[in-house]
Structure 1
């Protein structure tokens, strides 16, 4: 029974942010269906992120913070409690650093404050 439980935890997928998937969906819909692409752009939840990225190549500050926090939370969990091989731990750390640098390399979209 203990072996089954161990294997179950090794099959856990990483927690990933939705931004890359939204951008991929937008790109695919843009290439295949203008009606679906317009629906995605007009979506209350996803539309603002996609428009900001396409028009300004920028990611909102709160999306950056949440993305990087969840990335490091999931990678840290994997490194300390899931993975036993040192080379995989080093690989995961390298991936986390690379993705963090990539996210931070984009401009930050800050909402205009009305004063």
Structure 2
């Protein structure tokens, strides 16, 4: 078993190829999320860095060095979560995109309900499972 923070690279070529493929797919979805409202960006890059950590330290470092998402991925890995502003933007985009999709994109009530439910799950996850960076840092600060 690896020490905390240590990268475990797959020993098999097929395993590494699978992780690289998975990571590249996550990078593609993350890049798509930059231009498609409601599609998360950072989450896919976190997933890509995780997959690359099992296959290619060079590609993992490439993700961590990206100017826009690299610091966010590093913060997430360090247990800092998301900046408050990013959480507000993410929740707003989820509510707007799911609301518009449910209201204007489909005719079937079951599909509308599914869209609204999945959007609500996403909002709940961000609110209660993803730490807020500023709150984590305040807790870590020694009392004065």
Query: Which TM-score band (shorter chain)?
Result: 0.7 to 0.9
CA–CA distance in 2 between the matches of 1:87 and 1:103? 24
Alignment TM-score, normalising by the size of structure 1:
0.78
Higher RCO (CA < 8 A, seq sep 6+) = 1
Alignment TM-score, normalising by the size of structure 2:
0.63
Residue of 99, 103, 106 corresponding to 2:126: 103
Matching residue of 1:41? 64
Task: Say which structure is richer in strand.
Answer: 1
Q: Deviations over 1:14-60 (max 9, x none)?
A: 73020221111111111111011112212221111111111115111
Matching residue of 2:32? none
CA–CA distance in 2 between the matches of 1:23 and 1:82? 29
| 8 Å contact from structure 2 (residues 37, 93) kept in 1 | no
CA–CA distance in 1 between the matches of 2:121 and 2:72? 22
Matched, 1:16 2:39: yes
| 8 Å contact from structure 1 (residues 17, 70) kept in 2 | no
Q: Which runs of 5+ in 1 are unaligned?
A: 1-12
Q: Which runs of 5+ in 2 are unaligned?
A: 1-35, 138-144
State the aligned residue count: 100
Residue of 111, 120, 136 corresponding to 1:88: 111
